[in-house]
Amino acid sequence: MMDSRAQISIEFMLIVAMIPLMVLLFGSLTSESSELTIAMAAARNGATQGANLDSLAFYPDQAFSNYTHKNQRLLLPSKIQILKVEYNNQGYNSVYQRTKIQIRVHASDPTLKNQDDKNCMGERINYYVRKSISGSFKTDYMTNNAFNPVFSYRYYYTTADVKWC
């Protein structure tokens, strides 16, 4: 009778000891994917914000002058749709001691015909993508005014040119 009671307590102790180990193991795995999920949600939010600001945005004098002379179309409302935001893991970078993630936004606007206007709008969208990620992780102090590159705890993010469909 004593043997069966001792056996139950040892099994119970093994189970109780394994639960924290399993929680720590799965917690570290999910926190890494959670960080990337947060960054991608921020990227989608930033892309949408950059696309929607078009004619309502406040521009620095130099940018407004450029838009007035070269990209007048961008001063009018547009119909930009963000189709997809994807990322590409480009591996560990020893300089930044983080994994590089490159983000690409796919957008569409039938009213933007000029390639220069598309490039200019793409730069604005990418700026807001990077800014939104930086704000999500509160790492503004680690980057420059263009928010390029942007940092989180395990990754650093850059943006590829917007792909217009």
With beta carbons less than 8 A apart as the criterion, state whether 152 and 39 touch: yes
Predicted pLDDT of residue 137: 92
Q: With respect to residue 45, please indicate whether it lies within any of the assigned structural domains.
A: yes
> For strand 155-159 and strand 98-108, is the pairing parallel, antiparallel, or unpaired?
parallel
Burial profile 78-105: b = 16 or more Cβ within 10 angstroms, e = fewer? bebebeebebeeeeeeeeeebbbbebbb
Question: In this structure, which amino acid lies at residue 63?
Answer: A
Task: Note the pLDDT tens digit of each residue in 26-51.
Answer: 666 656 678 899 999 999 999 999 88
Q: With respect to residue 109, please indicate whether it lies within any of the assigned structural domains.
A: yes
Q: With respect to residue 14, please indicate whether it lies within any of the assigned structural domains.
A: no
pTM over 0.85: no
Predicted pLDDT of residue 163: 96
Q: With respect to residue 21, please indicate whether it lies within any of the assigned structural domains.
A: no
Q: With respect to residue 15, please indicate whether it lies within any of the assigned structural domains.
A: no
Q: With respect to residue 5, please indicate whether it lies within any of the assigned structural domains.
A: no
With beta carbons less than 8 A apart as the criterion, state whether 139 and 98 touch: no
Predicted pLDDT of residue 129: 94
- Mean per-residue pLDDT pooled into runs of 10, the chain (165 residues): 58 76 69 83 93 63 64 67 95 94 95 84 90 91 84 93 94
Q: With respect to residue 23, please indicate whether it lies within any of the assigned structural domains.
A: no
Domain of residue 147, residue span: 31-164
Domain count, the chain: 1
Predicted pLDDT of residue 156: 93
With beta carbons less than 8 A apart as the criterion, state whether 106 and 163 touch: yes
